[in-house]
Amino acid sequence: MIVPADVAWSENGAVAAIPALPAAPLPSSESVERAAAMLRSGLRTAILLTGSALHGRGLRTAGCIAAGTTAKLLAPYPFTRMERGVGSPPVERIQYVLEQAVEQLKEFRQLILVGAQAPISYFASPGKNSVLTSPECEIHTLARPGEDAAGALDALAAALSYNGSNVPAGKAERPPLPDGDITLPGLAAAVGATLPENAIVVDESMTSGRGMMAATIGAPPHDWLTNTGGSIGIALPLAVGAAVACPKRPVLCLSADGSGLYTAQALWTMAREGLKVTTVIFANRVYNVLKREFSYLGVGDPGPIVRNLFEIGRPDLDWVLLAKGLGVPGTRVASLNEFAKALREGFESQGPTVIEVPL
């Protein structure tokens, strides 16, 4: 409640006008010129995008700048929304695992931030540097968080005399349908081979789904939503929000048993509202992220009490029965063929479905 209780029975009062949101400020001309000079320098440069720079006009302008300067477009691991697939400039997501992210970024000598902050690791660890960029990398902020990221890119394109006519677009290239035993690359290929046009992907598959974005870069146009911080449990309710906001678009929710259990009640909302959401639960029975972060502490192998905290079992969760109890039909798959078939059936369904993938 945001009003006093007596508002429910009191006389009507004056309704205040809702003030207009102020326009997001643009960066200074000096900031734009500095970014333009960096892109003209010939040094290996990346542009880190977030917010309005990852969709619509902002993304198209970023693609034009990248095409004209050979700069690489990046997105932080957590972002809100990215337009992807055929017709969109390719943007590479910074890796979640610290060592992989450092390896990914080590080539760049310049990094231009557009609405983003300088990339650091999710967790601090003893003896490890949390900064992901090379010590030789110069970082320049073109647009701060809260500033007009798309407008900043427009100004940068103008400073470089780019008119937006040369925007690179991903080409249609799906992976072949996989078969055989379940593997993580095979799961990603199945998603890439079946993802329908105009889909919305809600991705919280932090351990099991890291190949998903690479496998879907040549899929039909779609949007990609992620968890926006370090907490878990957002995928199922975020999928509800996406399906309510865009009822005609298919939603693919990529979650896992650990994160999904925080907000499993969202399945009931999907059933109650008849939402077109296909939810994939990667049942790996363990918090792998926590196991890896514990290994960074330098205190040896975890003892039985700590191991017990990392495991999700005794009893194992049965997501098919959980979904059924919440009104959503579910299936458990044992092969890549079954997974691809279940995905297609989910995308064709007019209501919610759950696919459990034991790993």
For the stretch 299-315, pLDDT in tens is 888 888 888 888 888 88
Closest CA to 329 of 358, 352, 356, 348: 352
CA triple 325-326-328, angle to 5 deg? 100
DSSP letter string, 109-158: SEEEEES-PPPB-SS--TT---B-S-TT-EEEEEE-TTS-HHHHHHHHHH
* The predicted structure's pLDDT at residue 311: 87
CA–CA dist 233, 227 (Å, integer) = 8
Q: What is the helix, strand, coil percentage profile of the chain, to 5?
A: 35, 20, 45
Sign of the C-alpha dihedral computed for residues 249, 164, 216 and 173 taken in this order = positive
pTM for the full predicted model: 0.92
State yes or no: pLDDT of 185 exceeds 90.
yes
Q: Residue 169: pLDDT above 80?
A: no
User: Average pLDDT in the 136-154 region?
Assistant: 97
Q: Identify the pLDDT of residue 142.
A: 98
pLDDT in tens, 83-112: 999 999 999 999 998 999 999 999 999 999
| pLDDT digits 0-9 by tens, 211-240 | 999 999 999 999 999 988 888 899 999 999
- Summarize pLDDT for 232-263 with one digit per residue, the tens: 899 999 999 999 999 999 999 999 998 999 99
CA proximity to 226, closest of 78, 120, 96, 97: 78
Report all structural domains of the chain as residue ranges with CATH numbers, in order of start: 29-159 (3.40.50.1220), 184-358 (3.40.50.970)
How many Cβ atoms sit within 10 Å of the Cβ of residue 23? 8
Confidence of residue 167 (pLDDT cuts 50, 70, 90): confident
Whether the pLDDT of residue 1 is over 70: the answer is no
Q: Averaging pLDDT over each range in 28-37, 203-212, 230-239, which range is the top one?
A: 28-37
Average per-residue pLDDT in the chain?
93
Q: Which residues of 100-129 are buried (b: 16+ CB within 10 A; e: fewer)?
A: ebbebbeebbbbbbbbbeebebbeebeeee
Backbone angles phi and psi of 8, in degrees to 5: -65, -25
Answer whether residue 170 shows pLDDT above 80. Answer: no
The region of weakest confidence among 30-44, 68-82, 249-263, 280-294 is: 280-294
